[in-house]
């Protein structure tokens, strides 16, 4: 019997031969040094990033199809070019590989999809009156950082309890320096009011040291000291003072109840447990610092179904610690192929010894088992949610008569108060639920750009001609046009630069026929009129459950009040509304806190402080005479004239 070879098989063989040829062409110039290599597709997109102790030996292994997996065979068949970087050591190669994978997100690597930095509790030590607050990001300021915490909510609860216990300020330095009387935090007994010297520097420093001791794991000693002082005050019949100590002890007990203090054998450690089922994995991470459990978080890395647990966990750890400081101990559910190498790389990054351990017995093994149970349950919940979302997306496509599978739905909404502090918001949903990393906010500008023409200058360049017009306050249609024009004209620029464009399968706008027309106008002007658009308007009396759905060329559509698809669409609309309102409030609060002095050129934070200290308020500065301004030390005559002219330009 003769086996027939299809044209697709011939094409795949040709592609593999071409990919192997590309790899072999690099062999002449490859050295045997450590380094990092990148496989790239025809359009320049990176397919895979790998590292090797011996580049030549590692790369040549891709040229033998019979010895590589189907996944790697597919990658080789798509390879059109390669880039090579040599490093001094394999550790440097590992660190560079992790960095490039996070930045480039190659489709054949294991990818950490959610990589937000974790919040810490920060106590400053570079000033007379230290502050206590939440910190996220680079730890550049001098002070003590306690964490990481798994969620912002855990940090906020802990900070509230710490304020009640130790009365440390949490206001910004600018507000602190300009206080003339105690604020609300003092009135509700969460601050000792150092801004107006209601406490001595020595007493305040003692409170700060107690807070540091407590967060460093010496909680029992701190509570014992407070209990002794409470008893002493009670014996001296100073019951109000004793009540203060009692409340502080109670506040500290609240923190301890959330953190599971004094886990035997655990001081500073991160725990990673991976559960893999049917090619999908969940990694559960627990954080322990100073013997306290600071919470846990589940991750669902993107990877090929053929990846083994050891590969997934190893790649995950490299990316996870790319922007975080590792603790002294890392506990794992699986052994890694390159544990010593990864340990050395993390030790270099942390500037202290990092031990990577897979416990086999004792309390540490119990922690791993507990984390594995959480990982298994989290994966089951995630798969159930994904299945539900896929069903809902299919139902939405069927409802609106759309072809194909909906993978990305973008929902838009605006928020403002009588046209002020106007913002637009975009949220994104898919089979994995809300994709919060893809959310975007737009500060509405006083002019809008309306696409009027697109002139194609060449295959790789586009010219978008636009006319600009003032937006009237509260003009929702103009705001929506501006948001969509900025979103989708940006897509054209992105497509021109990188040949890749992330487009939605469906656009949903909050509003009626007017909003629908605005969206269709912009999409048509940017050459994207094939993207379907639906507008959601509130029903009679603005009642939930009586929404109308508008599409071009169709009558408004109603759904039954108990229809699951209606609930799903309401949820998308409400999430866009929530995000728009939240963005609007942030912008409005920033504007309220902003002073007119911020708009004067050459008046920075220091000179602003000088003016406010001297005159007491921005209003008093605006009323000051030129001679009064010139008398302030640190304000030159030319700057005094500039400030005076700013407030008296009408004269």
Predicted confidence (pLDDT) per residue in 233-258, tens digit: 777 777 777 777 777 777 666 665 54
Q: In percent, how much of the chain has pLDDT > 70?
A: 85
* pLDDT tens digits for range 289-320: 877 788 888 999 988 888 899 999 999 998 89
Domain 596-647 in the same topology as domain 7-104: no
pLDDT for the residue 497:
40
190 burial class (0-12, 13-18, 19+ CB within 10 angstroms)?
buried
402-564 has CATH 3.40.30.10 classification: no
**Does the structure show a pLDDT above 70 at 68?**
yes
Q: Which residue has the tokens 């000291």?
A: 225
pLDDT in tens, 582-625: 888 887 776 655 566 777 777 877 787 778 777 777 777 888 88
Q: Please give the pLDDT value at position 391.
A: 92
CATH topology of domain 7-104: GIY-YIG endonuclease (3.40.1440)
Q: 269-288+297-382 sits in which CATH class?
A: alpha beta
Bigger pLDDT: 498 vs 293:
293
Task: Answer yes or no: is pLDDT of 174 > 60.
Answer: yes
Q: Among all chains, which residue has been given the structure tokens 């004793």?
A: 242
For position 535, what pLDDT does the model report? Answer: 93
463, pLDDT greater than 50 = no
Pair of tokens at residue 610: 């000088």
pLDDT digit string, tens, across residues 14-58: 778 888 888 888 887 788 889 999 999 988 889 999 999 899 888
Q: Pairing state of beta strands 329-332 and 355-357? A: parallel
Asked whether 272 and 317 are in contact (CB, 8 A), the reply is yes
Average pLDDT over residues 184-205: 88
| pLDDT given at position 647 | 79
Nearest-Å Rg of the Cα atoms of the chain is 30
Q: Is 404 left (phi over 0), alpha (psi -120 to 50) or beta?
A: left
Catalogue the E-assigned strands of 539-623: 548-550
- Quick one: CA dihedral 266, 272, 276, 281, positive or negative? positive
> Taking 60 as the threshold, does the pLDDT of residue 288 lie above it?
yes
pLDDT in tens, 518-573: 999 999 888 888 899 999 988 665 556 678 899 998 888 888 888 889 999 999 99
Residues 6+ positions from 428 with CB-CB distance below 8 Å: 408, 409, 410, 411, 434, 435, 438, 439, 504
Q: Is the pLDDT of residue 216 over 70?
A: yes
pLDDT of res. 1: 44
Using CB atoms within 10 Å of the CB of residue 184, give its burial: 0 to 12 exposed, 13 to 18 middle, 19+ buried: exposed
Of the candidate CATH numbers 1.10.150.20, 1.50.10.20, 3.40.50.300, 3.30.1490.150, the domain formed by 596-647 belongs to 1.10.150.20
pLDDT of residue 447: 47
In the β-sheet with 329-332, what is the strand arrangement from edge to edge?
292-299, 280-289, 269-277, 329-332, 355-357
What are phi and psi for residue 415, nearest 5 degrees? -145, 135
Distances in whole angstroms, Cα of residue 85 to Cα of each of 45, 78, 82, 90, 470: 17, 21, 10, 12, 51
Please report which helix (H) or strand (E) contains residue 394, including its range.
helix 362-399
- Identify the pLDDT of residue 632: 83
What is the structure's pLDDT at 461? Answer: 33
Would you list the domain boundaries of the chain?
A: 7-104, 120-259, 269-288+297-382, 402-564, 596-647
What's the pLDDT at 446? 62
Average pLDDT, the chain: 81
pLDDT at residue 115 in the model: 65
List the helix and strand counts (H, then E) for the chain: 20, 20
Residues 248 and 163: beta-carbon distance below 8 Å:
no
Over residues 495-516, the mean pLDDT reads: 77
pLDDT tier for residue 10 given thresholds of 50, 70 and 90: low
Give, in order, the Cα–Cα distances in Å from 50 to each of 47, 82, 110, 276. Answer: 10, 11, 11, 23
Q: What percent of the chain has pLDDT over 90?
A: 20
How far from 98 is each of 50, 342, 473, 625, CA to CA, in Å? 9, 11, 48, 60
Round to the nearest angstrom and report the end-to-end CA distance of the chain: 101
Q: What share of the chain is helix, strand, coil (3-state, %, to 5)?
A: 45, 20, 35
């Amino acid at each position: 019997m003769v086996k027939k070879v299809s044209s697709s098989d011939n094409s795949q063989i040709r592609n593999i031969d071409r990919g192997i040829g590309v790899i072999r062409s690099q062999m002449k110039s490859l050295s045997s040094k450590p380094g990092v290599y990148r496989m790239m597709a025809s359009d320049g997109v990176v397919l895979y990033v790998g590292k090797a102790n011996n580049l030549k030996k590692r790369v040549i292994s891709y040229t033998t199809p019979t010895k590589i997996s189907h996944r790697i065979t597919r990658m080789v068949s798509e390879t059109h070019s390669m880039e090579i970087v040599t490093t001094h050591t394999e550790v440097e190669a590992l660190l560079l590989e992790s960095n490039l994978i996070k930045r480039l997100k190659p489709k054949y690597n294991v990818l950490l999809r959610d990589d937000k930095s974790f919040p810490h509790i920060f106590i400053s030590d570079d000033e007379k009156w230290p502050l206590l607050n939440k910190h996220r990001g680079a730890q550049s300021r001098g002070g003590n950082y306690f964490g990481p915490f798994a969620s912002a909510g855990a940090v906020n609860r802990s900070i509230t309890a710490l304020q009640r216990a130790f009365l440390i300020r949490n206001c910004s330095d600018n507000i602190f320096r300009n206080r003339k009387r105690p604020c609300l935090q003092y009135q509700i007994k969460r601050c000792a009011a150092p801004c107006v010297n209601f406490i001595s520097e020595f007493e305040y420093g003692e409170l700060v040291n107690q807070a540091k001791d407590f967060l460093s794991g010496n909680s029992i000693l701190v509570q014992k000291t407070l209990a002794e002082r409470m008893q002493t005050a009670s014996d001296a019949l100073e019951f109000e003072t004793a009540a203060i100590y009692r409340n502080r002890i109670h506040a500290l007990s609240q923190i301890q109840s959330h953190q599971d203090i004094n886990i035997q054998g655990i001081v500073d450690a991160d725990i990673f447990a991976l559960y893999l089922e049917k090619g999908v994995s969940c990694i559960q991470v627990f954080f322990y610092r100073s013997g306290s459990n600071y919470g846990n978080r589940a991750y669902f890395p993107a990877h090929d179904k053929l990846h083994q647990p050891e590969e997934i966990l190893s790649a995950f750890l490299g990316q996870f610690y790319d922007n975080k400081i590792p603790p002294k101990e890392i506990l794992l559910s699986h052994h890694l192929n390159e544990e010593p190498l990864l340990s050395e790389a993390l030790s270099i990054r942390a500037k202290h010894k990092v031990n990577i351990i897979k416990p086999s017995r004792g309390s540490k093994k119990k922690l791993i088992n507990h984390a594995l149970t959480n990982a298994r349950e989290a994966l089951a919940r995630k798969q159930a949610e994904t299945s539900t979302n896929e069903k809902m997306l299919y139902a939405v496509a069927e409802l609106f008569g759309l072809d194909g599978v909906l993978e990305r739905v973008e929902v838009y909404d605006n928020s403002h108060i009588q046209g002020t502090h106007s913002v637009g918001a975009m949220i994104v949903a898919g089979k994995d639920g809300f994709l919060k990393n893809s959310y975007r906010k737009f500060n509405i500008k006083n002019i809008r750009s309306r696409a009027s023409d697109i002139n194609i200058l060449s295959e790789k360049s586009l010219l978008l001609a636009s006319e600009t017009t003032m937006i009237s306050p509260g003009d929702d249609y103009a705001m929506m046009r501006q948001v969509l024009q900025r979103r989708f004209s940006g897509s054209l620029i992105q497509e021109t630069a990188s040949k890749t464009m992330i487009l939605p399968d469906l656009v949903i706008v909050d509003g009626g026929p007017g909003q629908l027309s605005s969206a269709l106008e912009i999409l048509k002007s940017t050459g994207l009129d094939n993207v379907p658009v639906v507008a959601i308007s509130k029903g009679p009396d603005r009642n939930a459950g009586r929404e109308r759905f508008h599409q071009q060329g169709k009558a408004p559509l109603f759904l039954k009040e108990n229809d699951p698809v209606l609930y799903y669409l309401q949820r998308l609309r409400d999430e866009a509304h929530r995000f728009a309102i939240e963005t609007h409030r942030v912008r409005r609060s920033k504007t309220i806190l902003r002073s007119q002095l911020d708009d004067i050129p050459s008046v920075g934070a220091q000179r602003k402080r000088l003016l406010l200290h001297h005159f007491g308020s921005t209003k008093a500065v605006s009323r000051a005479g030129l001679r009064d301004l010139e008398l302030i030390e640190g304000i030159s005559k030319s700057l005094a004239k500039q400030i005076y002219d700013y407030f008296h330009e009408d004269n």
